[in-house]
Amino acid sequence: MERRTFNAASYSLSHLRRDGTRTATTIVTISITVAFLLLTSSLLFGMLTDGGGDRKAGLLAGDIPGSVDMFTEFRLDQEISGRARNSLMSYLLLTSAMVLMVGFFIMYNTMAISVMERRREIGILRALGLSTKEVMKLFLLEGAMVGFISWIFALFFGTPLILNLASYLINRGSESIFFVMPSMPLALVIGSLLVTMALSTISTYIATIRPVGSSPVAMMRTRI
Amino acid sequence: MDNGTSFISVRSVVKEYRVGDSTVRALDGMDMEIDEGDMVALMGPSGAGKTTLLNMIGGLDSPDRGSVIVKGMEISSLNEGQRALFRKNNVGFIFQFFNLIPSLTALENVLVPVMFDRDPPFDRAVELLERVGLSGRMDHVPGRLSGGERQRVAIARALINDPMIVLADEPTGNIDSVTAREIVSLFRELNDEGKTMIMATHDRLVSARARSVIKMRDGHVVRGKAKSRERIVHLADRKASGGIRRKVEG
């Protein structure tokens, strides 16, 4: 036998593989959510650090091929009135919160449907002696795996795409509201990972806790 | 905690289910005793309460009234967490529709009950699959196995924790008669090794090879066949020789 181990992680992974299409669409959606959050929060960071962003702290922004150096192109940041600055920040915060909520509900929905479809399987696992906690762990592992892969995708593919789009918009005209140099320090990268993991595991937990805890006999009678 | 009861003791058990607006009484004051090492066929028409009784003995469900005592332990009073542990350590379930996990290979399916263990007994899973005659099919997913092969995987899975009780709900209900005969022989072999086997069945082939037959109707026992003297002597001999688990652990 080539594979000598089989554990909870292999179980979760095999299920994600089997449900490939749904896993892929969830990963794409969560990636877009996280990438958008990265964009808005990098702009917020940019505004918080020296109004226009500290170029030294930028992890990605300065290195994107084809992107303009917003800091030198638009020095308008120095002239923004406090009110305009505040409203922009509120707008960014509000959009981030909304996007976070959308991501949360997408993940919740995916896991809730998955649990509904797998009621019988959950009943079998419980009959075989797995506790409610252990079955929950399987789902949380799946949620965490989806979250982690989505974060990687968001970081390495989504962010550069969105930032390029931002610079393209800026190039279209000096009237653009985008005069802030996005800043992406390491803290933001780590923070985004924590937020993604929290989003995926908390939504999974809420979606699955009740069905997983119901009677194994009732669940095994389910025919889907 | 030994109350001087049988190995499995079911006392005045009542279980009701709600179906829509009406209530169905699946077990109606059920009383039953099963000795250790017995091989019991529960027979009776659909709706007689066979599956409900198996679920009670296996700690999958709890009675509305009455008690279920296994090896001196009242499992009907355990909470869900304790019942899960009881199932894991003491009971192997075999189902009519096999209930394998479709995304996993045969070998992985056998390892499902122990996947949270620190060191899952991989070699034992391989041995069990070899024992049920599936050495060449370990990496096949259930979709690529025949009904009989799937049931063999389910049997290996039921044995992975070396349970003292094996509960089978219509184990031959979904397989051809030749395979059914082989499965029943395997059950008999397991029983010879000391497992207490309880099978809910309609199949005369199964009841013919059981050591005891309990007939049920409308949630209670209508007739129970006493165990043969030969059987009890046989069990005592086997215990004295201490060779009960030799074959499984190979």
pLDDT of B57-101, one tens digit each? 999 988 999 999 999 899 988 988 899 999 999 999 998 888 999
Alpha-carbon dihedral angle through residues A163, A164, A170, A172, given to the nearest 10 degrees: -150
- Nearest CA to A176 out of A103, A76, A61, A78 is that of A76
Give the B-side interface with A, CB within 8 Å.
Answer: 55, 58, 60-61, 80-81, 84-85, 87-89, 91, 93, 99, 101-104, 107-108, 111-113, 115-116, 120, 122, 126, 138, 157, 161
pLDDT digits (tens, 9 = 90+) for A109-163: 988 998 888 899 999 999 999 999 999 999 999 999 999 999 999 998 767 766 7
CB contact under 8 A, A11 and B112: yes
* Best of B56, B85, B86, B101 to mutate (most A CBs within 10 Å, chain A): B101
Distance CA A155, CA A39 (A): 10
Residue B140 CA from chain centroid, whole number? 25
Per-residue pLDDT of chain A (224 residues; tens, 9 = 90+): 455 688 999 999 998 998 899 899 999 999 989 988 888 888 888 777 654 434 433 334 444 444 444 444 444 555 555 677 778 888 889 998 999 999 899 989 988 998 888 899 999 999 999 999 999 999 999 999 999 999 999 998 767 766 776 676 666 655 555 556 667 788 888 999 999 999 999 999 999 998 888 888 888 876 64
- pLDDT reading at B46 higher than 70: yes
Do residues B91 and B59 touch, judged by C-beta distance below 8 A? yes
A17 close contact with B: CB closer than 8 A:
yes
- Name the A residues in 61-80 with CB < 8 Å from any B CB: none
Distance from CA of B232 to the nearest CA of A (A): 30
CB contact under 8 A, B85 and A131: yes
Do residues A211 and A116 touch, judged by C-beta distance below 8 A? yes
The pLDDT assigned to B87 comes to 93
Q: Which residue of B has its CA nearest to A220?
A: B99
The pLDDT assigned to B245 comes to 40
Q: Which residue of B has its CA nearest to A118?
A: B101
The pLDDT assigned to A165 comes to 65
Residue A182 CA from chain centroid, whole number? 19
* Domain B35-55+79-219+227-249 coded CATH 3.30.70.1230: no
| Weakest mean pLDDT among A81-90, B75-84, B184-193, B222-231 | B222-231
A5 close contact with B: CB closer than 8 A:
yes
The pLDDT assigned to A152 comes to 95
User: What is the number of residues in chain A?
Assistant: 224
Distance from CA of B245 to the nearest CA of A (A): 21
| Weakest mean pLDDT among A35-39, B2-6, B49-53 | B2-6
The pLDDT assigned to A79 comes to 55
B222 confidence band (pLDDT: 50, 70, 90): confident
CB contact under 8 A, B113 and A128: yes
CB atoms near residue B72 (< 10 Å): 13
Distance CA B225, CA B207 (A): 11
Q: Give the residue with greater pLDDT, B203 vs B3.
A: B203
Distance from CA of B55 to the nearest CA of A (A): 8
The pLDDT assigned to A86 comes to 78
Q: Which residue of A has its CA nearest to B83?
A: A129
Q: Which residue of A has its CA nearest to B93?
A: A128
Distance CA B17, CA B225 (A): 29
Residue A134 CA from chain centroid, whole number? 25
Distance from CA of B206 to the nearest CA of A (A): 23
CB contact under 8 A, B111 and A6: yes
- pLDDT reading at B241 higher than 80: no
* Domain ranges across chain B: 35-55+79-219+227-249
Q: Name B216's bridge partners.
A: B221
CB contact under 8 A, A7 and B120: yes
Closest Cβ opposite residue B101 in set A121, A132, A213: A121
Q: Which residue of A has its CA nearest to B17?
A: A218
A22 close contact with B: CB closer than 8 A:
no
Distance CA B5, CA B66 (A): 15
Q: Which of A158-162, B20-24, B236-240 has the highest mean pLDDT?
A: B20-24
Closest Cβ opposite residue B112 in set A1, A125, A131: A125
* Best of B115, B119, B134 to mutate (most A CBs within 10 Å, chain A): B115
The pLDDT assigned to B162 comes to 93
CB contact under 8 A, A124 and B99: yes
**In a 3-state reduction of DSSP, which class is residue A215?**
coil
- Nearest CA to A195 out of A31, A26, A60, A34 is that of A34
Q: Which of A78-87, B37-46, B218-227 has the highest mean pLDDT?
A: B37-46
Q: Which residues of B touch A117 (CB under 8 A)?
A: none
Q: Which residues of A touch B101 (CB under 8 A)?
A: 11, 121, 124
Q: Which residues of B touch A17 (CB under 8 A)?
A: 103
Q: Which residues of B touch A125 (CB under 8 A)?
A: 112
- pLDDT reading at B124 higher than 90: yes
